[in-house]
Amino acid sequence: MSKSRIVFAVLLAALAVTPLLGPGKYALHLMVMALLWSYIYTSWSIMGRLGMVSFGHGAFLGIGAYTVVMLWNLAGVSPWIGAVVAVALTLVVALLIGLPCFRFKIVGHYFALVTLALSEVTRLIIVGLRDHTGGSLGLTPKPALTDGATASLSALQFEDKAVWFYIVLLFWLGALWVWHRVDRSMNRLALQAISEEEDAAASIGIDVTRAKLTVTLISAAMTCLGGVLYAQYQLYVNPETVSGIGISLQMVFGVIAGGLFVMLGPTVGAVFLLLLSESLRVLIGNKVLGVDITLYGLLLVVFIIYMPKGILGTVLQRVAPGSGAAAK
Amino acid sequence: MPQVFDIFLLEAVLNGLLLGGLFALLSLGLNLIFGVIDVVWICYAELIMVGMYTIWWLHTQQGLPLPLAFAASIAFVGALGAALHQFVIRPVLAAEPINQLLVTGGVLFLLQALVTVAFGVEFRNLGVRLPGVNAGEMSFSGSRIVAFAVAMVAIAATYFFLNRTYMGTAIRAISQDRAIMPLMGVNASRVYLLTSAIGGALAGLAACLLVLQYDVHPAIGLSFGPLTFLICVLGGLGNLIGGFLAAFVFAQLISVGGFFFQLEWGYVIAFAFFIATMFWRPEGLLSRRKAR
């Protein structure tokens, strides 16, 4: 095995063992959140790194989160089935938006703004259906842990955070694997060619629409599952936190901060953002609202201007120039 | 009764017209910037929000008379626009378009957060009430009528500036061919800076009109920001006339849609219409630019 693989395996083993060392609820919660957002950001980046920068992944996250909770609360449908429904719904939406966008060559600014519209429509629909979704006040899944039970597989609710840790760890590893597979696939090369010169790529026989759609559907479905996990873990969803432009921009920022073209970039970005907001909360507390977002904004601007490859990307470039999967 | 039904529908249509005038002003600044500099200011609505806070703070907290507060807003946001271009946009002009979008996205967060730190999250009201206007059974808010009138004047003035003055012609010329203009002796960065200042000033003016009708709070940009982008894209990004028309189309959809259904659904219909139009005419209804 190559050196980097051994390092990765060791780190992974260390990570897997951590919950057993008794780190305490708060630390465990942070780790679950870090892994969950890493998973979600990686899902976004599968599309983002190949030239399809979407400002609308909040839509898929929201569909995932709200579908499972609503089906459970209103119809008693198990979140397992709810998740399948959510993914199906997400795929339909992604297809509805993606097909016309890619057939009619909507790229760049236009694509970003159309996807932005999508995330806002989703948020507005959630708020508009307030009789069923609770509107801006949010929604809580009905608790299934009665009579002192701490885990319910059918309702996908677990009190022990360690269980969630392993679930999310598996999903995160899954996302990395998908990233890796897409990276090695013909689609990746096709999409790189497309992003450089779409007409030339089409002229040598690349099915542009199909290539773009495949990656989009994968990314959307994965993000949707992230929403499902988020809802079941937090046991509270709210249109602002899981849909809309705010969370969509945060996803993009997280990936950019960590490094768009590197596999572990989104993970670094998620950890970075989480550490930032938590340490600000500890240092400044809730007395002065908005300081963490001030820093977010400032950092995003600074990063784009001076470090467009993100933290990990820039570090990798210094350490091993010429290696790495930087597309540009 | 059909009589009553018609009157209130008519009121919704007329309100939509008034709203359209305001939207047209909002999209004017954004379209101008994009048409000339080829950058979308994602934070445009937040610039307007800053203007609204400026007016509120100067008038209610510092006791400045309203006209002065208005003038201050226009000047301040104009300067902010120029600064935005100089310090944030210029370094990434040569980078990929998505970086430009992202960098203005960062400014969006920054501005929202700064006003939160300065003024908190509460809704702030200017405390100025303009008398309403009644026509039969319909009633219209005075501030809406004023906003419509001022917006029309501002749009006409901008049109005059772009078509009859030297600088305006230079701005139009650069938007037609960015590469050639410097060869003709025009200082491109000076034109960009001026355009940014004008775009900011228009935002400051929009702030004056909006603050009369709505309370200001840090997230207010999110309620009309995405809408403004969509109006511009619908009319064809960079197309001033297209944006003007699209503004009225959108406003009608929102107003009449909100009349028939709940308020949010008016917006949903408008957004859905936008997405549908993207399938039909991806470059925008009246675009003169191709999708590439």
A19, amino acid identity: P
**A287 located within any domain:** no
Is the Cβ pair B268, A121 closer than 8 Å?
Answer: yes
Give domain status of residue A306, yes or no. Answer: no
Q: How confident is the model at residue A156 (pLDDT cuts 50, 70, 90)?
A: confident
Total domains in the fold of chain A? 1
**A118: closest CA of chain B, how far (Å):** 8
Q: Which residue has the higher pLDDT, B237 or A218?
A: A218
Q: Output b/e per residue, B227-266; b: 16+ Cβ within 10 A.
A: bbbbbbbbbbbbbbebbbbbbbbbbbbbbbbbbeeeebbb
Q: Is residue A71 part of a domain?
A: yes
Identify any residues that bridge with B73 across adjacent strands, giving them in sequence order.
none
Quote the pLDDT of residue B84: 94
Quote the Cα angle for B280-B284-B286, to 5°.
Answer: 110
Instruction: Tell me whether 0.90 is exceeded by the ipTM.
Output: no
Predicted pLDDT at B14? 87
Q: Is A280 on the interface with B (CB under 8 A)?
A: no
Q: Tell me the pairing of strands A157-158 and B133-135.
A: unpaired
In the prediction, which pLDDT does A145 show?
67
Give the CB-side neighbour count of residue B174, counting CA atoms within 13 A.
25
- Find, in chain A, the residue whose alpha carbon is nearest to that of B261: A128
Within a domain: A317: no
B11 Cβ contact list (under 8 Å, min separation 6): B137, B138, B139, B140
Å between A35 CA and nearest CA of chain B: 24
A162 vs A38, residue with greater confidence: A38
DSSP three-state, residue A152: strand
Q: Is A36 on the interface with B (CB under 8 A)?
A: no
Residue range(s) defining the domain that contains residue A229:
25-243
Do B92 and A104 make contact, defined as CB atoms within 8 angstroms? no
Closest in B114, B268, B272 to A294, CB measured: B114
Which residues in chain A (247-276) have CB-CB distances under 8 A to chain B?
249, 252-253, 256
For the cut 80, the answer to whether the pLDDT of residue B146 exceeds it is yes
A245 vs B contacts (CB less than 8 Å): 222, 225-226
For A143, the token pair is 């608790």
Task: Give pLDDT, residue A66.
Answer: 92
**Residues of chain B neighbouring A246 (CB-CB closer than 8 A):** 222
Cβ-based contacts of A239 with chain B (< 8 Å): none
Mean pLDDT of B67-79: 93
Look at residue A43 and tell me if it is in a domain. Answer: yes
Mutating which of B90, B96, B110, B250 best tests the A interface, going by the most A Cβ atoms within 10 A?
B110
For A97, name the nearest residue in chain B, comparing CA atoms only. B275
Whether residue A279 is contained in a domain is answered as: no
A318 within a domain of the structure (yes/no): no
| Domains along chain B with CATH numbers | 2-120+132-280 (1.10.3470)
Q: Mean pLDDT over residues A134-144, rounded?
A: 80
